[in-house]
Amino acid sequence: MKSLNKDIIIAVDGYSSCGKSTFARAIAEELNYLYVDSGAMYRAVALYCLRNNIIINGTFELVRIIRALALIDIEFKFNEQSLKYETFLNNENVEEDIRSVEVSEVVSLISKIREVREKILILQRRLGERKGIVMDGRDIGTVVFPEAELKIFMTADVDIRAKRRYDELKEKGLEVSLSEIKKNIEERDHQDVNRKESPLAKADDAVELDNSNMTPAEQMVWFRMIMSRFHK
Ligand code: DC
């Protein structure tokens, strides 16, 4: 791709399971930018709380979570072998552990807590200080970087998202039902859009990418066209 006038911030927001992180990682790679998966930050906080018995059976005392925040340090480091940024919690690589079912089950509870969001916001803004970053999430273009030079809002038809997730899990050898997956996606959409703190919303100046009928390669063609406005 042609070089840009200057480094920019790219915010990628959207519904769950519509391929945000795959797309965001690919565009960061193309631009040689830092890629930050902001969901991983909420997942790291959830993992810390589970490991330290702060969340037990899906319940917790808010004050214990707030107190724990001072003890949590989250970083992203580039792995030269996997060629991916990986998540570190207090200097430990937790990239695998944060994707576990246990973490997935409690992370939406964690991401609703105002104090958690405030702490993560500070980390997110620090990562964006030097620009040259792609961050994906739910509130990146609206709350974290409202001044981002490029905001992309991703959507895809819910049946298509469910089918993609179904194929992914089947590939991993898991026995799942398509209707259950669809129900789960719809519930998550509802939670993301309706929560009080930083709900998922399309920023007024975001460009929409509906990838229901697009291949990853077609998404990149779309992206290059959008990026032409930033070229020298
Ligand atoms: O994208 P994901 O499934 O890894 O996100 C994990 C959780 O974090 C999910 O409940 C949504 C939440 N999240 C958020 O509230 N704000 C963000 N910017 C990113 C993720």
**pLDDT for residue 232:** 63
Are 127 and 143 found together in one domain?
no
- With residues binned 3-state (H G I as helix, E B as strand, rest as coil), the percentages for the chain, rounded to 5, are 50, 20, 30
Q: Is 172 inside any structural domain?
A: yes
Residue 98: domain span: 34-131
Kindly state whether residue 145 falls inside one of the protein's structural domains: yes
Residue type (1 letter), 232: K
Residue 231 lies in a domain: no
The answer to whether the CB of 119 falls within 8 A of the CB of 176 is no
Looking at residue 1, its pLDDT comes to 62
Phi and psi angles of residue 207, each rounded to the nearest 5 degrees, phi first? -95, 135
What is the mean pLDDT of the segment spanning 127-152? 97
Q: Which of 116, 131, 146 is the last residue of a domain?
A: 131
Measured between its terminal Cα atoms, the distance across the chain in Å is 11
Cα dihedral: 131, 135, 140, 146 (round 10): 20
Domain boundary among 131, 148, 180: 131
Q: Are residues 44 and 126 in the same domain?
A: yes
The answer to whether the CB of 18 falls within 8 A of the CB of 162 is no
Residues 127 and 40 grouped into a single domain: yes
Residue 186 domain flag: yes
Q: Mean pLDDT, to the nearest integer, of 35-41?
A: 96
The Å distance, Cα 178 to ligand 1 centre, comes to 22
Q: Report how far residue 156's alpha carbon sits from residue 19's, in angstroms, rounded to the nearest whole number.
A: 9
Across the range 39-62, mean pLDDT stands at: 96
- Judge if 52 and 127 occupy the same domain: yes
For the record, the structure tokens of 227 come out as 């990026």
Could you give the number of structural domains in the chain? Answer: 2
Which position has the token pair 């552990």?
Answer: 97
Q: Whose CA is nearest to atom 9 of ligand 1?
A: 108
Residues 179-225 have pLDDT tens digits of 999 998 999 899 899 999 999 999 999 999 999 999 999 999 999 99
149 and 190 belong to one structural domain = yes
Residue 93 lies in a domain: yes
Q: How far is the CA of 38 from the centre of ligand 1 (A)?
A: 7
Mutation probe of ligand 1 site: the residue of 15, 37, 41, 42 with most atoms within 8 A of C-beta: 42
CATH of the domain at 82: 3.40.50.300
Query: Which pLDDT belongs to residue 175?
Result: 86
Last residue of a domain, one of 100, 131, 162: 131
Q: Is residue 226 part of a domain?
A: no
Mean pLDDT of the chain: 94
The pTM score is 0.93
Segment 159-170, tens digit of pLDDT: 999 999 999 889
- 126 and 142, same domain (yes or no): no
pLDDT at 3: 65
Ligand 1 center to 137 CA (angstroms): 6
Residues 51 and 122 in one domain: yes
Whether residue 92 lies inside any domain: the answer is yes
Q: Please report the sign of the dihedral spanned by the C-alpha atoms of residue 2, residue 228, residue 161, residue 195.
A: positive
Q: What is the pLDDT of residue 209?
A: 98
The rounded Å distance from CA 216 to ligand 1 centre is: 22
Tell me what pLDDT residue 101 has. 86
Query: What pLDDT does 113 receive?
Result: 95
pLDDT for residue 77 = 93
